[in-house]
Amino acid sequence: MSGNRQIGEQYRLMKRSGLDDLIKVLRVLDYRVIGPTESNGVIEFAELGDASELPWGLRDEQKPGSYSVSKGGDRAFEFSNGPTSLKRYFHPTERHLWTVDASGGQLQFEEARVQVPKYAFLGIRPCDLASLDILDQVFLNGVETNRYYESCRQNSLYVAVNCSSAGDLCFCASMETGPTARSGFDISLTELRSSDAYRVLIEIETDRGRSIVNQIDTSEAHENDLSLAREQSDGVARSMGRTLHTWGLRERLQENADDPAWADVAERCLTCGNCTMVCPTCFCTTVEDRASSHDQKYERWNTWDSCFSLDFTFVSGGALRQSSKSRYRQWLTHKLSTWVDQFGVSGCVGCGRCIAWCPVGIDITEEAARIGEPQARA
């Protein structure tokens, strides 16, 4: 939290009813408000009609290979992270690219016309916000610009929520992506933990954020509110459930492709690809052609894929990565090492999703620590 601007210009306080006002204002502005809600036993992103749909008083408990939601607390944002991230909105699971119509005797190509929604994302964790910076490197600053992603990013509004407790699988502090959002948002919210009534500290980062906050009922924030928010953030960073030691990691992974630890993790890995599906930054896709023989129209679709899939590297003569060892090694080495060579940043934001949603509980922080470190395996 910056102390450069005047507190009154940058910070406000709101009560619980302010969250209702905020959603109402966003909906009046024609945003589809996407935020966390409880559904089928998980807290996941979905479209919200009002603030009562937020997961008030719910916590998640996450362990390697395990996730559950329970009652506890009285706040809206007590949980860490659900299985869905913002990736599915900016980079949908499947996207129609074009159609070819062969019915008239000649091939007519037509680009798919896709309506890009106007989203307001409410309750984005700092690690998920950081994942968008990483996806920007892939989809905006790479070889080719992904037009859907670009339009969706430009149309969207971002309301971050700073973490007020740390999950057992979180390690955003090691990745320097949390627990407090630094940039990339219009407004950020911090639920203040104090004996007083429910209060949320609002930080305003952009002009459009300011114009929205001006339309809701808020009160003045003071230096002690900012101090409390800073103390909370420091406490969360200290109590983070996991740490990923990143010093020298890029080189260590690239220099130890034959480490026996790869074979050991491959014994446990099912190559199911769950980790890549829940990861907010994994972006690999394939293309599918869908034919409808009765009207001679053929469609090309872009769909999510995974480096754990055997077909992912299929070329003439077979798949390049036949063994589960080679596929796990590819995923981890790309994520934490060659991603830095490719995009200038790590591919991991420390959200912990891949650990919770791995059916056999493989922990990326433990596996990364074992490669090239014989003493870590002892």
Is 43 one of the binding residues for ligand SF4 (CB under 6 A)? no
User: Of 181 and 202, which CB lies nearer to ligand SF4 in the complex structure?
Assistant: 181
CB of 308 to ligand SF4, least distance (A): 4
The distance of closest approach from Cβ of residue 266 to ligand SF4 in the complex, given in angstroms and rounded to an integer, is 9
Cβ 93 to ligand SF4 shortest distance, Å: 16
DSSP conformational letter for 107? -
With contacts defined by CB under 6 A, how many residues of the chain interact with ligand SF4? Answer: 25
The residue range among 90-98, 204-212, 220-228, 271-279 that interacts with ligand SF4, by the rule CB under 6 A, is 271-279
Considering the complex, state which of residue 18 and residue 280 has its C-beta at the smaller distance from ligand SF4.
280
The contacts found for 63-66 with CB under 8 angstroms, 24 or more apart, are: 63/168, 63/169, 63/356, 63/361, 64/169, 64/355, 64/356, 64/358, 64/361, 64/362, 64/363, 65/355, 65/356, 65/358, 65/359, 65/360, 65/361, 66/356, 66/361
| CA distance linking residue 215 with residue 302, whole number of Å | 40
Binding flags for ligand SF4, 291-330, as an x/- string (CB under 6 A): -----------------x----------------------
Cβ atoms of 337 and 372 closer than 8 Å? no
**Binder of ligand SF4 out of 213, 279, 369, 371 (CB under 6 A):** 279
Do the bridges between strand 219-220 and strand 11-14 make them parallel or antiparallel, or are there none, so unpaired?
A: antiparallel
* φ/ψ (deg, to 5) at 309: -80, 135
Distance between alpha carbon 195 and the CA centroid of its chain, in Å?
A: 32
Give me the torsion for CA of 110, 115, 116, 120, rounded to 10°.
-170
Positions 336 through 365 that interact with ligand SF4 (CB under 6 A):
348-354, 358-360, 362, 364
Residue among 240, 273, 339, 370 that touches ligand SF4 (CB under 6 A): 273
Which residues, numbered 210-229, are part of the site for ligand SF4 (CB under 6 A)?
none
Residue closer to ligand SF4, measured from CB, 164 or 346 = 346
Question: Which structure tokens are listed for 340?
Answer: 């830095």
335 scored as a contact of ligand SF4 (CB under 6 A): yes
* 314-315 vs 297-304, strand pairing mode: unpaired
By the rule CB under 6 A, 271 interacts with ligand SF4? yes
Candidate residues 84, 162, 188, 281; the one interacting with ligand SF4 per rule CB under 6 A = 281
Listed residue (274, 335, 352, 358) closest to 81, CA to CA: 352
SS3 119: strand
Q: Which residues in this chain contact ligand SF4 in the complex, by CB under 6 A?
A: 269-275, 278-281, 308, 335, 348-354, 358-360, 362, 364
